[in-house]
Structure 1
Amino acid sequence: MRVQVGDVRLFFDVEGAKLRPDGAKMREVPTVILLHGGPGFDHSNFKPDFSRLAETAQVVYLDHRGNGRSDRGDPAKWNLPQWGDDVRGFCEALEIERPIVLGVSFGGMVAMSYATRHPEHPAKLVLSSTAAVSRQDRSLEMFEKLGGAEVREVARRFFENPGPEAMAEYQKKCLPLYNRKPSPPEFMQRAVMNPKLTADFFLHEAHTLNLLPDLAKIKCPTLITAGELDPILPVADSKDIAAAMAPGVARLEVFENAGHGVHRDQPDRFFKMLDEFILA
């Protein structure tokens, strides 16, 4: 399904009803909007893992503009302020009120952009394996720790010049280190990708990223999850986010022996924690 949001049509998918029979009445459950990582990927890597969340909430999968099955739009609008505003516009188009917005990796950056630009809109926020400021030095250090000097060099070349050859080498040498559990081959095979957007982000947005000064604007309860062995967005990045937020707003949970996207390495702990946070 696609819906018009500003100058583009955004693709989305839904699991779980909003209204559910409960005796003599219909019970309304929260709506969770999932913001995928990448950038340049799509929502497919959430499936089937997040299907279990539909027992607790209505789950909405969204492809960002320029990503996945959404319209590419104007490349000049491939930036975090626009992606953040798109989340608000998407909710208005579908009349979603008080959403719980969950962003993983790049999706977490979009979630922070949205929540700092529209602080009254979200009911809750979940930030998983993400960062508010660009610290590629941390990432290179973790890649070397997990894979040695050769892997560090592969990552450095990709960060500095994310062309087709560097991207292919990065996917071969660096992606396998993202998680403790090997990702199935279909993780990449089924994704609808936009390599041009990926390259554009690493050449521009990644070098200027700094959401830290605005994080104190976020008012809603925020759960932050991070993997201790995450090489691309190390746990120190999540600690920075928690420290920059207003007192009492954020709760940081660090997962030992977990990498990027802790739901992949420790699904039972993550989804139990997520259910409790949503229903609290």
Structure 2
Amino acid sequence: MASQTKHLVEITPEQIQEFKNLAKEQEKTFLSEDAIVDTVEHVDVSHLYQRIEVKGVSINYVKVGTGEKPVLLMCGSVGAGKSIPPERDFSSKESFLHGDIEFAKILMQKLGYPKFSILGWCGGGTEALMMAGKYPEVIESLISINSKAFFGHEDMAFYNLMSDISNWSELARSSMVKVYGEEYFFKCWMSLITLYKRIYDEEEGNLCTEFLSKIKCPTLLVHGQLDPVAPVRHVHFIKERIPHAKVHIMEKGKHNLHLRYPEEFLAIVEQFLLELS
């Protein structure tokens, strides 16, 4: 599918090359060819799929594990996976971010969990931060991974480059097309980028900063030192506004650190959750 690049912010040729280099680094971990990531990617969990109706929408979910403390896992964007229809609505923060956390809260209530912990990665981590600040009476603990609370100029320059999917590797692009089909994936991605631009222009890039000071539950912030999508400065910004949060920087970690280093990642998360039990 042909695509046209529309600059979201002004960037120099030097910055374009820099972000192309970052994009290449991101492609190495977006869907890494490493054996351990390949193994994770090809685990078939379709037999675990379950469905429940939330606000008139049939939500697909997977329930695994044992224990008394439920943990909701929130992945990143784009298209809502097996919970289509309806199509994703990226027209505003209210329909997208706030809508997602409202669905998540009702989902857990319907499953019998009025209180729970939440773990979110990337955009799901942003929503986890929002949820912990908006519903402090519901969220018992929070784990946010490689997340942002705002967009800066450099972040938007990166999204500007990645809005043109011809800059994506074939591996990264085909993985999304496999799930969503080319037309729907492209539609979702461009709608999301358009929303990001509007948030950057009209709200100074604010995603959820107003919720950070309201977070009172135990909080763990995990971040990859080498993440090109959410550079490490973002975790320091969040930490400054959640003083009680614990921070763990994975020195070799990039954006998909949970896939590249699953044993280390799981050990960090499990230790945090078990200490709270």
Give the structure-1-normalised TM-score. Answer: 0.68
Shift of 1:264: 2.2
Change (3 A) 1:129 1:68: same
Please report how far the alpha carbon of residue 129 of structure 1 lies from its aligned counterpart in structure 2 after TM superposition. 0.6
Change over 3 Å in CA distance of 1:220–1:206 after alignment to 2: farther
Q: Specify the alignment match of 1:156 in structure 2.
A: 160
On the 8 A contact 1:100/1:122 being kept in 2, the answer is yes
Distance in 2 between residues matched to 1:136 and 1:70, nearest whole Å? 33
Deviations 1:84-113 (A, max 9, x none): 111111111111132121100011112122
- State the match for 1:242 in structure 2: 239
Matched, 1:10 2:7: no
Deviation per residue, 1:206-260 (Å, 9 max, x gap): 6424311221111111110111111111111111111112x32x11111112100
Q: Give the strand-richer structure, 1 or 2.
A: 1
Helix, strand or coil at the partner of 2:271: helix
- Going from structure 1 to structure 2, the CA distance change for 1:102 and 1:157 (only over 3 Å counts) comes to same
Structure with more relative contact order (C-alpha pairs < 8 Å, separation 6 or more): 2
Rounded Cα–Cα distance in structure 1 between residues aligned with 2:180 and 2:68: 30
Q: CA deviation at 1:189?
A: 6.8
1:268 aligns with 2:252: no
Answer yes or no: is 1:93 the counterpart of 2:110: yes
Residues 156 and 197 in structure 2, CA contact (< 8 A), matched pair in contact too = no
Once the two structures are TM-superposed, the CA of residue 175 in structure 1 deviates from its matched residue by 5.5
Q: Is the 1:113–1:211 Cα contact (8 Å) retained in structure 2?
A: yes
Partner SS state of residue 143, structure 2: strand
Q: Residues 136, 10 of structure 1: CA spacing in aligned structure 2 closer, same or farther, 3 A cutoff?
A: farther
**Unaligned runs of at least 5 residues, structure 1:** 18-27, 41-66, 141-151, 177-184
For the pair 1:217 / 2:221, whether they are aligned, the reply is no
Residues 253-275 of structure 1 show CA distances to partners (whole Å, capped at 9, x for unaligned) of 11112100322232222111111
Tell me which residue corresponds to 1:182: none
Q: Which residue is 1:131 aligned to?
A: 148
Local SS of the residue matching 1:91: helix
Q: 1:122 to 1:83 in 2, by over 3 A?
A: same
Number of residue pairs the alignment of both structures matches: 213
Shift of 1:30: 1.7
Q: What is aligned with 1:171?
A: 168
Instruction: Compute the RMSD of aligned alpha carbons.
Output: 2.6
Q: Give SS of 1:79's match.
A: helix
Contact 1:225/1:262 (<8 A) preserved: no
In structure 2, distance between residues paired with 1:263 and 1:199: 26
Q: Percent identity?
A: 23
Task: Return the alpha-carbon distance in structure 2 between the equivalents of residues 198 and 136 of structure 1.
Answer: 19
